Amino acid sequence: MSQLKELLGDTAIYGIGSFLLKATQILILPLIIFYLKTDEFGRLDYFLSIKNILIILYGYGILTSIFKYSDYNQKLDKSPFNGFLVVLLIVGIGTLTIFGLIFLFPSIYGYAEDLLYVHLISAFGAFLTIPLGVLRQRKMPKSYIFVSTIYTLLFIGISYVFVLYTSLSYKSILLAHTLAALIAFISGAFLVKKYILFSYSPTLFKKMFNFGFSILLNSLCFIIILSLTRFVLKSNGTFEDIGLLGMATRLSLFVGALLVAPFNLAWLPFVSANVKKEGFTNTLNSVFRIFTWVGLFFCLTLEFVAKDFFLLIENKEYLPSIKHILPFSLSHFLLGYYFIFAAGIYLSGKIIQYRIIAISTVAFNVLLYLFSLNYINIYSVSYITLLSFAFAMMLSFFYGNKTLKIKVLRSSNIYILISYVIFFAAIKLLPDALIFSPTIFGIKIVLLMLLFVFHIILEKYLLKKKYLDVF
């Protein structure tokens, strides 16, 4: 139980910092909903999808490289500086590539300003991961949260000022991203400079460069899948369609940013530290069970209250997006399962299995799009994304659970799934209101509270009555 409390504590600490970084996409939702039309938001979401790919490319897995090659016993560490040089090299190559594309292709030239913003956001964001990584490595959660807070407050403040008081429209948010990432990086660098040895090491540089390349594909896998939704939909639709899709994915981040991202930050270090301790197998099964009911609770809560939110504010422009929230929130939920099982791959040392999963998942995703070329719309890209995440999760289970040996089909997990099926059916019996109904909303909240209390009671009962797990 103490192991589980340790995981929950680490998840909460880094959850705050992670949420502050990822919550920017959630906290600007009022700005988007009230001040940007769907086609304007579609343009913003399209270029931010490009940013999501570039920031992984520029970051080059350097955070993991710093963890791998840092000397924890030394006051001064040269791996962050050499990691910075690796990122600087990649950003330099990216800069030349983007300028070359802009000048060589007239069709891209029209989007030159947007692409330059995206490039700068990605570059400063990649640099920002270095001081954040050092703060995590040195176990400085308060400073980690401080830098994350600077980024969030600056981004939100600048976005609101520029959107409300300039005519920049969606470009206000791109500019705010750029300035916030730059200032947060400078702040983070100032905090960690006393721990960094500013010394170039050709041997260490080469090791970090090669290691970063080896894990780059793994990092890109899920970002490519999510970004392809925009690129494929744009080829068959409009920026307005991307705007609706983007709103659905933003809302689904309540699952990704509040639950999955902080859990992932804490999970692998927790597994590494506790794998040899007594009772770890029981802890793994408890983590899987608790993640299941909490994750599904997040998904279904979002599914059933999102429409009431849009009805309450009388915003009909983004109302169609609620039909596409569930596939994306479930995708984030399955990503959490992927991380749980992938820890087994890490422990086994068979790192090539990460690459097999990444390549297979992207290939599976592309094949689904090829088979659905005549049926591309928001519905199809949403469920293709969900199927791709499910495929990755199953591969992770196949490879990783050989080491972890989590009992997925325990009766306690079946009870959880049955309770959610019953709850889902009960909610669907409620009338589908065309305007906000306090009565229907109140019934939903009561049912959600009852469901949550039921699982708290069930969890305590399961811990005390072992015979409830009959298989």
Interval 184-218: pLDDT, tens: 999 999 999 988 889 999 999 998 888 888 778 77
**How confident is the model at residue 76, as a pLDDT?**
82
pLDDT band for position 182 (50/70/90)?
Answer: very high
Domain ranges of the chain: 36-215, 237-471
SS3 content of the chain, % helix, strand, coil (to 5): 85, 0, 15
Rounded to two decimals, the pTM is: 0.82
Give residue 470's pLDDT.
45
* 234 Cβ contact list (under 8 Å, min separation 6): 46, 241, 242
Point out the least confidently predicted range of 71-75, 113-117, 225-229, 404-408: 71-75
Neighbours of 209 (CB within 10 A): 20
Secondary structure letter of residue 260 according to DSSP: I
How much is the average pLDDT of 77-91? 92
pLDDT in tens, 27-64: 788 889 889 999 999 999 999 999 989 999 998 888 77
Average pLDDT across the chain, whole number = 85
DSSP 135-203: HHHTT-HHHHHHHHHHHHHHHHHHHHHHHHHSS-TTHHHHHHHHHHHHHHHHHHHHHHGGGB-----HH
Q: What is the pLDDT of residue 8?
A: 56
Cβ–Cβ under 8 Å, residues 54 and 94: yes
How far, in Å, CA of 224 to CA of 219, rounded? 9
CB 189 within 8 A of CB 341: no
At residue 146, does pLDDT exceed 80?
yes
Mean pLDDT of 293-302: 90
| Confidence band of 471 (pLDDT split at 50, 70, 90) | very low
Q: State residue 84's pLDDT score.
A: 93
pLDDT digits (tens, 9 = 90+) for 159-175: 999 999 998 899 999 99
Helix (H, G, I), strand (E, B) or coil at 65: helix
Do residues 57 and 216 touch, judged by C-beta distance below 8 A? yes
Q: For residue 198, what are its two tokens? A: 């500013």
pLDDT (tens digit per residue) in 360-376? 999 999 999 999 988 89
| Residues 59-95: b if buried by 16+ CB within 10 A, e if exposed | bbbbbbbbbebbeeeeeebbbbbbbbbbbeebbeebe
Q: How confident is the model at residue 429 (pLDDT cuts 50, 70, 90)?
A: confident
Give the pair of three-digit tokens for residue 468: 């409830």
Cα–Cα distance for residue pair 23/362, rounded to 1 Å: 27
> pLDDT above 70 covers what percent of the chain?
92
CA 357-224-404 angle, to 5 degrees, is 30
